[in-house]
């Protein structure tokens, strides 16, 4: 994707989502968030309810000879939580355009809460193999309450799509949270994805079996390794800096 191009996005829905919360996973370093939401879709009764059209999309994923949109929306009346899966890497240069279009849509369909699950490539020790949160005040009050797990992330800052969504959340009634966990270079970082899923299951009280995650990740590892290779080939000026600190 050329970040100098005038990027535009359009949400195309087959039906309105049934839940009032949207959980998002994007293609980023370690692919932990993407692996987590992909697993959530695979293990639940979620069905595709729409997609996001990107004018400058550079990939068209396919499986068994059938193409699919790289940014897809899923929901289920049983789960009460909608899910966005983005296999398309969104460089920081287009994050504002994407976030604005997504938030236009969430406002139109009465989604009140948005969560991003994300891996961050930061130096860390084994004691930091856990999930942290960065969230607006109303998200913490509504979703986390007095809970101390996941703890708040230490001083630092985010960029890209999570940054844009959090910035808009601070200035609107939309509750926005980001669950972050340190990731390693391998793709996908299964342990990091498992931490995100376990945190999501706990906070949102979901009935999701996390035991098959490693087998699931093994099945898609080659695919995600190829996706990670595309990130490695991106020009340095398109890649975000390490902007999250412990």
Dump pLDDT digits (tens) for 64-91: 899 999 999 999 888 889 999 999 988 8
Q: Which of 56-60, 107-111, 125-129, 151-155 has the highest mean pLDDT?
A: 107-111
Angle between helices 190-204 and 32-43 (to 10 degrees): 60
pLDDT value at residue 59: 85
Residue 189 domain-assigned?
yes
**Residue 176 C-alpha from the chain's centroid:** 12
172 within domain boundaries? yes
Task: Quickly tell me which residue has 């797990």 as its tokens.
Answer: 149
Share of the chain above pLDDT 90, in %: 50
pLDDT at 10: 94
Output the pLDDT for position 174: 94
Neighbours of 125 (CB within 10 A): 8
Average pLDDT for residues 216-229, to the nearest whole number? 66
Domain membership of residue 1 (yes or no) is no
Q: Does residue 4 form part of some domain?
A: no
User: What is the total count of domains within the chain?
Assistant: 1
Query: Length of the chain in residues, anyone?
Result: 246
Q: Assess if residue 124 is contained within a domain.
A: yes
Instruction: Report yes or no on 63 lying in a domain.
Output: yes
- pLDDT on residue 3: 42
Question: Which tens digits make up the pLDDT trace of 4-35?
Answer: 444 789 999 999 888 899 999 998 878 899 99
| Residue 30, both tokens | 């370690």
The pLDDT of residue 143 is 95
Span 143-190, pLDDT tens digits:
999 888 899 988 788 889 999 999 999 999 999 999 999 887 766 788
Q: Write down the pLDDT at residue 146.
A: 87
* pLDDT tens, position by position, 122-132: 765 666 688 99
Tokens describing residue 16: 């309105």
Residue among 30, 23, 34, 24 at smallest CA distance from 79 = 23
Pick the closest to residue 192 from 31, 84, 40 (CA basis): 31
Dihedral in degrees, nearest 10, Cα atoms 9, 14, 20, 26: -40
Determine the pLDDT at residue 203. Answer: 95
The domain that holds 56 is classified in CATH as 3.40.50.10900
Assess if residue 85 is contained within a domain.
yes
pLDDT range class, residue 246, cuts 50, 70, 90: very low
Domain residues for the domain of 230 are 9-238
Residue 205 lies in a domain: yes
pLDDT for 9 equals 93
pTM of the model: 0.84
Q: What is the DSSP string of 52-105?
A: EEETT-----EETTEE--SEEEEE-TTT--EEEEE-S---GGGHHHHHHHHHHH
Q: In the prediction, which pLDDT does 227 show? A: 66
Residue 127 has what pLDDT?
66
């Amino acid at each position: 994707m050329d970040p100098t191009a005038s990027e535009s996005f359009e949400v195309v829905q087959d039906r309105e989502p049934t839940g009032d919360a949207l959980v998002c996973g994007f293609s980023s370093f370690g692919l932990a968030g993407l692996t987590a939401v992909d697993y959530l879709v695979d293990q639940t009764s979620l069905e595709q309810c729409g997609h996001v059209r990107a004018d400058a999309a550079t990939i068209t994923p396919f499986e068994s000879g059938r193409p699919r949109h790289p940014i897809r929306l899923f929901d289920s009346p049983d789960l009460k939580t909608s899910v966005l899966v983005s296999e398309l890497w969104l460089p920081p240069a287009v994050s504002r355009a994407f976030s604005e279009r997504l938030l236009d849509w969430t406002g139109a369909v009465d989604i009140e809460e948005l969560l991003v699950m994300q891996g961050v490539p930061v130096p860390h020790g084994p004691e930091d193999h856990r999930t942290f949160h960065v969230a607006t005040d109303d998200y913490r009050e509504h979703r986390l309450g007095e809970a101390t797990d996941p703890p708040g992330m230490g001083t630092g800052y985010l960029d890209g799509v999570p940054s844009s969504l959090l910035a808009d959340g601070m200035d609107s009634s939309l509750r926005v949270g980001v669950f972050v966990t340190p990731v390693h270079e391998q793709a996908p970082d299964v342990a990091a994805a498992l931490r995100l899923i376990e945190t999501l299951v706990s906070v949102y009280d979901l009935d999701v079996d996390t035991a098959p995650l490693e087998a699931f990740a093994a099945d898609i590892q080659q695919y995600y390794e190829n996706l990670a290779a595309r990130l490695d080939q991106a020009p340095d000026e398109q890649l975000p800096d390490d902007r999250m600190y412990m």
